[in-house]
Chain A
């Protein structure tokens, strides 16, 4: 153990770029010879990288909270609560929808889609933040602050330290870029096939509410930099009709206008979700299917192929939303 203590400083210096070439080589040799030391090195590397990620996210959130005209942004634990709250509401809405299902006969041949949802949700909308709080506590944290957003690793992108391990390469790419407004009004679309009707149009329940959160009030963290407080968020989901269409010409396409979304393809085996992200100034729509996200243009009058979403930040946020929903 004392060997490690001696080398702690050396490892630290290496990780902060303070060792010259010769010293670095020497350290690398030592690591090769001493597996325990190597383990310690790897751990320290992870710790230093995580500290960097933490700080980077902090700065990113700080910038995100600065008014530049979109007017909506959020951060840290507040994000989680809002996302969880929305997901909860979406679930309730879905439940209500299934209770009052309606069918429309249309000219097109439609494929009914069944989406498996977790039906065990409970309280009213206003309790959403409390629910999120509970789920947070359930997490491993016996800690006071549990900034789950950091679960998603976000290492410095352009200025990565040379020694960044492969694990972080992926994390780097997948980092959270706190979008100005997230919160998906999750509109899972699914319909059971009734005996008589061959065609179905799914009408999601209209859910409109506003959830204002003051991060400084709700977040118990003393660690929050003072500048990062006072974030106001609001969101609503609009009424979108979703229908699935089977057409030989189009294997994986969509058409979306006047709040009517038609998706073309084989959706009966793998369920899909339609997600709506609403900032103060614009709304974005996404389709989640089979592990991938596709952005939907709400003014897409011509049938077009579904285009994969590659913005890692957005993907991360959508993932959180969906996973929060599934946890319940």
Chain B
């Protein structure tokens, strides 16, 4: 697959393009990390993270690519790994504070939210996540999901979000009572 086709596919939210890039560049990209004080596992994580960054940019149409895809992803890997190394060295020098987590209430809330998302139907999950993470337009969502038209997608998104909000709010209130 040529770069152009890959970009087109990602623009439509075609995840097979993601798979393709992963397999094609795995060795090359993981070397960024393994040749620089990283383990195989570190490398895998970094490459996956980088690829997802790339995916999100490309899918949402925010990407202006002036080089090869591989070059671009390569530099994302380098940046992420550099950040990770910096973070590691900082933690070694300071005592690890361990309490990087948000407070208990926030965590509880996030947990409720995550569970609610998981409880959504497949279609709603997809529509919402494509909208909020991939940044696909309604048109592309309609296309990808096989909806009749863009308006259908809009309505679906609206309804799904409302459903999710209500579900979360009902659960949240309940747990307040249980406290």
Contacts and interface: CB of A to CB of B under 8 A. Distances in A.
Contacts of A63: 18-19, 22, 48, 51-52
A326 interface: no
A294 B125 CA distance: 38
Interface in B126-174: 128-135, 161, 164-165, 168-169
A80 interface: no
Contact of A140 (B49, B115, B125, B131): B115
Interface stretch (A50-58, A84-92, A124-132): A50-58
A173 interface: yes
B164 A47 contact: yes
A313 B56 CA distance: 21
A52 B130 CA distance: 9
A158 B79 contact: yes
Contacts of B169: 43
Interface residues of B, number: 65
B117 A66 contact: no
B56 A146 contact: no
Q: Which of B88, B113, B119, B131 has the most CB of A within 10 A?
A: B113
A60 B52 contact: yes
B114 A223 contact: no
Nearest to B26: A68
Contacts of A52: 129, 132-133
A54 to B, nearest CB: 5
A232 B73 CA distance: 29
Contact of A66 (B22, B39, B96, B101): B22
B165 A180 contact: no
Nearest to B132: A51
A158 B49 contact: yes
B18 A62 contact: yes
B102 A166 contact: yes
Interface stretch (B1-9, B64-72, B103-111): B103-111
Given A47-B168, A59-B18, 6 more contacts: A47-B113, A159-B56, A167-B106, A179-B41, A179-B44, A180-B44
29 contacts: A51-B117, A51-B128, A52-B129, A54-B129, A54-B133, A55-B132, A59-B55, A60-B52, A67-B23, A68-B23, A70-B40, A140-B111, A140-B115, A140-B175, A147-B118, A151-B111, A158-B80, A159-B53, A167-B106, A167-B110, A169-B100, A170-B102, A174-B100, A177-B45, A222-B122, A223-B120, A227-B19, A291-B98, A311-B45
Interface of B: 15, 18-19, 22-23, 26, 39-42, 44-45, 48-53, 55-57, 76, 79-80, 83, 87-88, 91-92, 96, 98, 100-103, 106, 109-122, 125, 128-135, 161, 164-165, 168-169, 175
